[in-house]
Amino acid sequence: MTATGITHQVQSQYERHPYPGYPLWIPLRWQDGYIGASAFSRYLCGEWRESTSSSMQRPFLLAGCGDTQMAILRNLEPASQSMIGVDISPRNLRRTRLRMWRSLRPVDLRESDLQSYLTACMNESFSHIDAYGVLHHLPDPSATLAEMARCLPPGGTMRLMVYNTPARQWIQGIQQVFRSMGLSFHDPAHVATAQEFLQTWCHLSPPLHQRCTAMGPSILRHTGRFVDTFLHAREARISPQDWMQRLAHLGLTPAGLLDRYGEWDAYPNPLWNCPSAEEMEKRAKAGAFSQNLELFLCKQPGLTARTTQVPRRALFSRLHLRTPPTLWFSFPETYALPLWQRMSIWWRYLNEVYGGKISELSPHIPLSAAQRLARLGAILPRGLSPALRTSLEAPMQEKIHTRERMPAAKIPPRDMRFLLDKAEIILRNQKNLTPRRRFLLGRRIEAVQYLIEK
């Protein structure tokens, strides 16, 4: 397919299934988006970046903003920070406007293909770029990444989330199964059939069920998320090592990797010491690193200044009235922390990242909890004593939190037969049934099952 064809297909997918597509009346817990705020990336990258006040005045670009991200991040940015959201789907942008109808803060939403939009931008147009889950859906991710790098000034920052290709082999396998059945995102009946088939498969295969629910319990039911994962029009396959090489080539230095699931507990804090490309690749291939690559990048490090200037907010803002991000206290080491301690960690974070005011870390926080919080960005290294910094940087003392894989449980032959029969019925209903297609579909289903049980 040509680049235009791919872009058209992707646009048509998001027009039918906006992302993430949560109901418009649902209030967003926008403080949970703290990690996407430009202040977070700037502060994390601060030790490397040369920041000038003029670079701060440049806009923040939200590349492929979907239908909620602007509504979330606009609340986390100072009112003086201008923001531009670009998305190829008019429906996503309409939904963003509806979510933000009461917001007094101006936003600039542009309906455009990202590559075309960036090509028309001047060098060094943005101070920060957020590209969360978009590059791997483009016809030429490298070309767009290069444009994004060009549009950042030295010291500019970026948050990039891209798929961890080696860890998604089983998802790619399921995508192939649906393609062989002739199912696509275009037809709501096809989507419902695919959902029902995968639900049955999960019912028969507990390891598959575990993998799907690890991606969020709603993945099998929520149409937008289901299509985005299993029926996507385009998913470029680029390994972590390739991404890291491309970033290095463009002068984008990774400051850190967010470890949402405690997969790097046996290693030094990856948010403060980004693992090497080889390590990521090795662990991804071994199945020990399955989350997406969520990287914080800085353009051309090693310049002169070692200070950070972030657009300052008042030391007390409406952020202080929110409860802290849920991610921080969803781990065994942190969920026992009492509310007063949670609030004090949150306020300390806000005062430091937004106000530049660093205060002592409470000595009452257990070490394992502080280590976990440091891995999630709730505690940042600046201002810590060297001893505390070293202990928060170190591998977790006890590897408490792990997403243990289920012991390999083979699907019984009778259940496999049932699944293959069901697949055959779908193939027949799609008027796609030939002996060859039936044979290939069977082998694809078995191959996915093998990958899951491995």
Ligand X SMILES: C[S@@+](CC[C@H](N)C(=O)[O-])C[C@H]1O[C@@H](n2cnc3c(N)ncnc32)[C@H](O)[C@@H]1O
Provide the binding-site residues for ligand X, judged by CB under 6 A. 7, 10, 14, 19-20, 64-66, 68-69, 86-89, 92, 113-114, 132-134, 137-138, 228
Q: Rounded to the nearest whole angstrom, what is the least distance from the CB of residue 88 to ligand X in the complex?
A: 4
Q: Closest CB to ligand X among 56 and 61?
A: 61
66: left (phi over 0), alpha (psi -120 to 50) or beta: left
The smaller minimum CB distance to ligand X, of residues 98 and 315, is found at 98
Q: In whole angstroms, how close is the CB of 255 to ligand X at the nearest point?
A: 20
Closest to 353 (Cα-Cα) out of 36, 69, 132: 36
Closest separation in Å from C-beta 148 to ligand X: 12
Q: Rounded to the nearest whole angstrom, what is the least distance from the CB of residue 29 to ligand X in the complex?
A: 14
To ligand X, the closest distance from the beta carbon of 185 in angstroms equals: 13
Nearest one of 33, 44, 45, 41 to 60, comparing CA atoms: 41
Specify the long-range contacts of residues 353-356, CB closer than 8 Å, at least 24 apart.
353/37, 353/39, 353/40, 353/43, 353/310, 353/380, 354/39, 354/78, 354/310, 354/312, 354/313, 354/317, 354/319, 355/312, 355/313, 355/314, 355/315, 356/308, 356/310, 356/312
CB neighbour list of residue 401: distance below 8 Å, 6 or more residues apart: 262, 265, 331, 332, 333, 372
Given the complex with ligand X, which of 136 and 283 has the nearer CB atom?
A: 136
- Tell me the closest approach of the beta carbon of residue 305 to ligand X, in angstroms: 31
DSSP-derived secondary structure for 5-72: HHHHHHHHHHHHS-SS---TTSPP-GGGGGGGSHHHHHHHHTTT----HHHHTSPEEEES-TTTHHHH
Closest approach, Cβ 87 to ligand X, in A, equals 5
Burial 399-417 (b: 16+ CB within 10 A, else e): eebeeeeeeeeebeeeebe
The DSSP line for 239-266 is -HHHHHHHHHHTTEEEEEE--TTSTTTT
Q: Which is nearer to ligand X, 119 or 276 (CB)?
A: 119
How far is Cα of residue 194 from the mean position of the Cα atoms in its chain? Answer: 24
Nearer to ligand X, 58 or 137 (CB): 137
Least distance between ligand X and beta carbon 236 (Å): 11
Q: C-alpha distances in angstroms, 222 versus 177, 203, 217, 227?
A: 20, 17, 9, 9
CB of 296 to ligand X, least distance (A): 15
Q: Considering the complex, state which of residue 92 and residue 180 has its C-beta at the smaller distance from ligand X.
A: 92
* Cβ nearer to ligand X, comparing 36 with 275: 36
Q: Is the peptide bond before 20 cis (omega within 30 degrees of 0)?
A: yes
CB of 131 or CB of 220, closer to ligand X: 131
Kindly tell me which of 88 and 151 has the beta carbon lying closer to ligand X.
88
Nearer to ligand X by C-beta: 265 or 294? 294
At its nearest, how many Å lie between ligand X and the CB of residue 431? 31
Please identify, using beta-carbon distances, which residue of 131 and 373 lies nearer to ligand X. Answer: 131
Return phi, psi of residue 299, to 5°. -85, 130
Report CA-CA distances (Å) from 151 to 16, 117, 155, 176: 31, 11, 12, 36
Q: Are 331 and 401 in contact (CB under 8 A)?
A: yes
d(C-alpha 395, C-alpha 399), whole Å: 9
Please state the closest distance from residue 52 (CB atom) to ligand X, in A: 28
Give the tokens for residue 416. 């496999």
